C-alpha cells in the first residue's frame, strides 16, 4: 500500500532513503531540515526542502503522512525522536531481504540489498545500510547504524545507539553494548562494553566514553 512520508534531514543519507521509498511505490511530501540555507532547495529533483523541524508536525497533518529521521548520526536521530512527537513509518527498499519472523521498529530504514534473516528484531530508528547482512535471531537496538557491507552472524545483540562501521564483521553470539563504535573493517570476536570504540582484527577497545556522552 502506498503511503506518504516526510523526510527529516536533507543530506546524502536522506536521498538514499527517498530513493528506497520511491522504489517501494511511496510518495514523499518533502524534506525538513534546520539549515535555513536549504529552504526551497531540491536535493532530489521535484522533492523540496519545505521547512525546518518546527514545521514538520503541520506538514504531516496537511499531507496526512508519516516521518522518517533520515540522518546518519545516531545521537542526532535520538535527540530528534525525543523532541518530535509525530508518527513514524518504516523505509524498506524492495531489494532488501527480510526473513520470516523479522520485526522492524518504527522509523527504521532498511536500504538496498540489505539482508535480515529469520527471527531478528530491529529496534526503532535504526539504519541497516546498503548490502549489510544481519543473520538469524539477532537483536538490534534503537538508533543503531549498521554501515554498508557490515556483516553480523547469528544471535548477535547490538545495544542502543551503537555504530558498526563499513565492512565490519561480528561473529555469532557476540553482545555489543550501548552507544559504542566499531571501526571500519574490524572483526569483533569478543563481547564489547557500553560507550567504547573498538577497531582492528580482532577488534580491541581503544577508547571509552562517559555514560551519557551521546546526550552532550
Q: Which residues are catalytic?
A: 136
> What separation in angstroms does the CA of 44 have from each of 16, 18, 119, 173, 194?
10, 8, 35, 41, 37
75, 214 Cβ separation under 8 angstroms: yes
Handedness of CA 200, 160, 208, 84 (dihedral sign): positive
Would you state the cell numbers that stand for residue 152, as one nine-digit string?
Answer: 553480523
SS3 8: strand
Place of cell 547504524: 145
Amino acid at each position: 500500500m502506498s503511503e506518504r512520508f516526510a523526510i527529516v534531514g536533507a543530506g546524502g543519507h536522506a536521498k538514499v532513503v527517498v530513493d528506497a521509498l520511491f522504489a517501494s511505490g511511496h510518495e514523499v511530501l518533502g524534506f525538513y531540515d534546520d539549515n535555513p540555507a536549504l529552504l526551497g532547495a531540491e536535493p532530489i529533483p521535484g522533492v523540496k526542502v519545505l521547512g525546518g523541524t518546527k514545521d514538520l508536525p503541520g506538514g504531516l497533518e496537511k499531507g496526512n503522512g508519516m516521518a522518517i529521521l533520515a540522518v546518519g548520526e545516531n545521537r542526532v536521530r535520538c535527540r530528534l525522536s525525543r523532541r518530535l512527537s509525530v508518527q513514524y513509518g518504516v523505509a524498506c527498499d524492495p531489494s532488501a531481504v527480510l526473513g520470516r519472523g523479522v520485526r522492524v521498529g518504527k522509523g527504521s530504514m532498511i536500504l538496498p540489498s540489505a539482508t535480515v534473516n529469520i527471527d531478528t528484531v530491529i529496534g526503532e530508528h535504526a539504519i541497516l545500510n546498503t548490502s549489510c547482512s544481519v543473520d538469524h535471531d539477532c537483536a538490534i537496538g534503537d538508533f543503531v547504524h549498521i554501515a554498508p557491507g557490515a556483516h553480523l552472524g547469528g544471535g548477535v545483540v547490538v545495544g542502543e545507539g551503537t555504530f558498526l562501521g563499513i565492512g565490519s564483521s561480528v561473529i555469532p553470539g557476540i553482545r555489543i553494548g550501548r552507544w559504542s563504535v566499531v571501526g571500519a573493517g574490524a572483526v569483533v570476536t569478543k563481547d564489547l562494553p557500553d560507550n567504547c570504540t573498538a577497531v582492528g582484527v580482532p577488534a580491541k577497545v581503544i577508547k571509552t566514553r562517559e555514560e551519557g556522552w551521546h546526550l552532550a
